[in-house]
A and B are shown apart, each in its own frame.
Chain A
């Protein structure tokens, strides 16, 4: 395996610095929210990882479709890389959300549409990893996981809509009825958008590493087949 390219090495350092910057901004630049207190500062990372994780799952579905079209195994590596990192990001989003919800709503968990959908999304992609584990042929594994990613990514929005009929208590941050009545100060909004950008960069860095890992695994697999002959 080739050593890490220079751009990736730079990205590593930039990601770490940006993360520190975003953390500092959330701590000391964004003001303390008056109603909820310090715990509201968790929200900047929560929103950022949730959004970037969501985009990651979307990217995985797209990579799956491209795989089915091109039958090029590199797209399978891209797909599983996106799924894995998004799973980690989403797990963090759910955990941070729960910690925020405890003082804000008085409970760690409630079966509210977004939380429920997030949990189901997490389950679908864990199921995907289990499916991959029980398939050995790389080609079939790629094909099946592309199909399942596609089915999952269609089912998730329908799940969200189907639960949304019940009343939601999750705050809507962006969109109609957004920032005006959630009382976000400009410093808070700025912090939120900075975190979003920072986590996008972190995602790209991790993604790159994970793709390299996938390529290396493929290489080992080929070497193993060769050695067995």
Chain B
């Protein structure tokens, strides 16, 4: 990728800024491109899904998920599953870009670099949501727990947003290194601890039917984390993809 012939795009992103409707369109176009190609190949989603179900299966044996322990560990098991399946998806979705040379193409496109970030963020988030939408009912059926709790769904939404926000940024870094796939979880997990802690606590609060006042601090934390890390990623993404 160092022999890329064109250097016309090395100007600072502000000089190539398009009208905001174009910016939004670019984001959606990138996200749509990912979703459309995924609809055809289904390689990423199927891998994430099978992996997620296997993780749940392993937890079943590892933790002896009987009725008594289930209540206490459900939220933990769910979030570990989402986090693991999430890294798998994040890694793959960036690796595809890189291997097919799409990333270089995208970087040449006359859009603000951050549009690429938000496009990838949206498609990664969509994959995560699809996996979650399948894992939740399966888990409910397998373990006879009712997971259709609006509070829990809100937490899953907020937690996934934060996780994917950092994950998209870090995976675009990891994919450009020598160790690639191995590096993403190592980079991502320690930084994502606050999302996971807050998400697990809030989820188990909702599952145990605690009063909202007791869960609110964790939900607030998730919102704060989401806002901060989307902002940070927006500011530094340029440095990660520049050539």
Contacts and interface: CB of A to CB of B under 8 A. Distances in A.
Interface of A: 68, 120, 123-124, 127, 130-131, 134-136, 140, 143-144, 146-148, 150-152, 154-155, 158-159, 161-163, 165
Interface stretch (B56-64, B121-129, B143-151, B190-198): B190-198
B177 A163 contact: no
Interface of B: 166, 169-170, 173-174, 176-179, 183, 186-187, 189-194, 197-198, 201, 217-218, 221, 224-225, 228-229, 232, 236, 239-240, 242
B194 A144 contact: no
Contact of B173 (A136, A144, A163): A144
Closest 9 pairs (CB-CB, A-B) = A134-B178, A134-B177, A134-B179, A123-B190, A158-B194, A162-B194, A124-B190, A155-B191, A162-B197
Contacts of A148: 170, 173, 187
B240 A130 contact: no
Given A130-B186, A148-B187, A158-B225, A143 B193 contact: no
A131 to B, nearest CB: 6
Contacts of B240: 143-144, 147
Contacts of B173: 131, 144, 147-148
Contact of A147 (B192, B218, B229, B239): B239
Contacts of A155: 190-194
A135 B190 contact: no
Given A124-B190, A130-B183, A134-B178, 6 more contacts: A120-B190, A136-B178, A148-B173, A155-B192, A155-B194, A159-B197
A158 B239 contact: no
22 contacts: A68-B236, A124-B190, A124-B191, A127-B187, A130-B179, A131-B183, A143-B242, A147-B173, A147-B236, A148-B170, A151-B166, A151-B236, A152-B190, A154-B228, A154-B229, A155-B190, A155-B193, A155-B194, A158-B221, A159-B194, A162-B218, A165-B217
B221 to A, nearest CB: 6
Contacts of B179: 130, 134
Interface of A is mostly: helix
A162 B191 contact: no
Contacts of A163: 197
A162 to B, nearest CB: 4
A120 B193 contact: yes
A140 B176 CA distance: 9
Contacts of B192: 155
A123 B31 CA distance: 32
Given A68-B239, A151-B166, A151-B170, A159 B193 contact: yes
Nearest to B243: A140
Nearest to A160: B194
Nearest to A147: B236
Contacts of A162: 193-194, 197-198, 218, 221
Contacts of B228: 154, 158
Contacts of B166: 151
Nearest to B221: A162
A163 B221 CA distance: 11
Contacts of A158: 194, 221, 224-225, 228
A134 B183 contact: yes
